[in-house]
Chain A
Amino acid sequence: MTSANTMNSSSSRRQKTPLEHILRVALYICLLGMAAVYLMPFLVMFLTSLKDVEEIRSGTLLSLPGSLNFDAWGKAWGGACTGSSCNGIAPYFMNSFQIVIPAVLISTIIGALNGYVISMWKFKGSDIFFGALLIGCFIPFQVILLPMARTLGWLGIANTTTGLVFVHVVYGVAFTTLFFRNFYQGIPSDLIKAARLDGAGFFTIFRRIILPISTPIIVVTIIWQFTQIWNDFLFGVAFSGFDTQPVTVALNNLVNTSFGGKEYNVDMAAAILAALPTLLVYVLAGKYFVRGLTAGAVKG
């Protein structure tokens, strides 16, 4: 708020000049116009999902559907063909949850412990290791794709949900550690010293003092990891089997393998369904989502 407030504080007290009025109106038009542009694709998706094939052919992107027709949604959920099977995206939706929930929880817990050690129980080499881990946030996953595929094969978890959870944890820990480390960096070291003198050990301090004040960063981390893993496509397409595909992979198959006439309404319904969980999280906890984005970015 600071910059805007201080800058306008002087001007708001005196009368606005006509030029300032015009500028102000132009500003709002510009902002709202851009908002329309950002909203348009989603609106089109939604409208299309409610139309039948004939309406799609005859109308335009923004023409309204004749009636509220949720057939396409039903088909996308339970009957559309994705590759070889025709059960809609529902099973893959469940797959995504089975991958996301354990992967998010495990990577968050490990990240919290790592961040705790790196910021409060430094040992020789812990900073260097943190630097090495940080680079892991940035490497293009293409360089680890093939070796990881071989490893999953050896471990006997190729094409399984477990395998995907493992991969997401391994490459998610860099981010979760970064988040927690940056948060814990702001906690005074005196707090740990006091607790040690009070007789608390490593895990007691973590459980009784650190965790209870970590709620904000836990929320940020969980949301970040949830979004990342839910939206993942690369690992999903590289490491999943036919029946363990996450929803992103299934959606892509559905869109690219509709035989005969393209059912755009079904495609759009499926796309909205696939986006729904992360959108919901964003709408409900947008503040934390943004905090994660900027935290991961600014100190990345």
Chain B
Amino acid sequence: MANLIIEQVKKRYGSTEVLKGIDISIKAGEFLILVGPSGCGKSTLMNAIAGLDDVSEGRIMIADRDVTYADPKDRDIAMVFQSYALYPNMTVEENISFGLEMRKVPKEERDVEVKRVSEMLQIDHLLSRKPAHLSGGQRQRVAMGRALARRPQLYLFDEPLSNLDAKLRVEMRTEIKKLHQKLGTTIVYVTHDQIEAMTLADRIAVMKDGEVQQLGSPQEIYDNPANLFVAGFMGSPAMNFIPATVVSTDNGIMLELATKTPTLLPFPKKEALNAYLGKEILLGLRPEMITEPQHHKEGLEFVVKSQVNVEVTEPMGADTMVITRINDSEINCRCHPAYPAAPGSDIELMFDTSKAVAFDKNSGERIDA
């Protein structure tokens, strides 16, 4: 396994810059996930790492070796594609062993590899089939098998699960996680599914407009998003952004919400708000932090109760999302299904700001970082 260092990588097509100086470095055995909306440059970056696209500037190193200008085949990389890209004219066995054959591995060794990989992925009964006669999930496994057989230094996964149906996707997600834990491979994995990102990654790089917005562990990204974009992109339903005014009270600096009767919320990092006294900021609060009143939280430092008007409810089984509106912003609150919340009625909710974050309304950057 190898580390990967990406230094100041830029990619221009004519005058448009699709990668604006990417810096990412991951350790051997680490699982990195690139997320971002479509057009953010994550696929371009992936192609650049694979050598399928030239970079305009910067450096890419795999296992401390500069491969910026190396041919794809000389980078010792394997890739699993969204479309699987299985060779339609070859059997599963030939698909898996093609890369080994190209590297002039003798037939006996290839057979051993194919056996090992196909058993690991439970596709050994499919070896003589052509891809056209496989189901989506089986194709996905073959695509992974093809990558695993070569035992490359680095694996690239380009949205490998997005063509599977929801149930299979969850299954394969777990499988990939198990494989990674078992083999300790270095993986770069592109997805636009933030649940995949959260569940699989050691670290996540959130990209937008050709730039890395934040690079960190899933929990860091979830709890401490660097800006509005990252906060809004990760998590489902998304984090609530509630316009709030910074006010000075007897208990120090508080945030005032424009609820029916104005609510004052405490904030963990008060000092950061000093500069914003009297101004409006965006308070970032995850839906699970706005709930029905809970006894065990009663009286805690950062917990406040307030009356809100229910607009819509969305029962999800385990929870019911209660949607309300504060200062013209839609707010998602995660309540217990048994909590009475009829649309149009006023109910009491509990705001827990112990993990709240604050953003500058104009720049979208974190204030309290």
Which residues of A are interface residues toward B (Cβ below 8 A)? 188, 190-191, 193-201, 204, 208-209, 212-213
Contacts and interface: CB of A to CB of B under 8 A. Distances in A.
Point out which of B71, B87, B88, B98 has the most chain A C-beta atoms below 10 A from its C-beta: B87
A197 B88 contact: no
Interface string B252-272: 000000000000000000000
Given A190-B82, A193-B79, A199 B103 contact: yes
A213 B98 CA distance: 16
A195 B83 contact: no
A194 B103 contact: no
Interface of B: 47, 50, 52, 71-73, 75, 77-79, 81-85, 87-90, 98-99, 102-103, 146, 150
A212 B73 CA distance: 22
Q: Could you tell me the dominant secondary structure of chain B's interface residues?
A: loop
Contact of A197 (B79, B82, B83, B84): B79
Given A190-B82, A190-B83, A197 B89 contact: no
Nearest to A212: B89
13 contacts: A188-B85, A190-B83, A190-B85, A193-B47, A194-B79, A197-B73, A197-B77, A198-B102, A198-B146, A198-B150, A199-B73, A200-B102, A212-B89
B133 to A, nearest CB: 15
A122 to B, nearest CB: 12
B83 A188 contact: yes
A213 B78 CA distance: 23
A67 B85 CA distance: 64
A190 B81 contact: yes
Point out which of A196, A198, A204, A213 has the most chain B C-beta atoms below 10 A from its C-beta: A198
Point out which of A188, A194, A213 has the most chain B C-beta atoms below 10 A from its C-beta: A194
Given A196-B72, A198-B102, 14 more contacts: A190-B84, A190-B85, A191-B87, A193-B81, A194-B79, A195-B98, A196-B71, A196-B73, A198-B99, A199-B73, A208-B98, A209-B87, A209-B89, A213-B89
A194 B81 contact: yes
Contacts of B85: 188, 190-191, 193-194
A208 B73 CA distance: 16
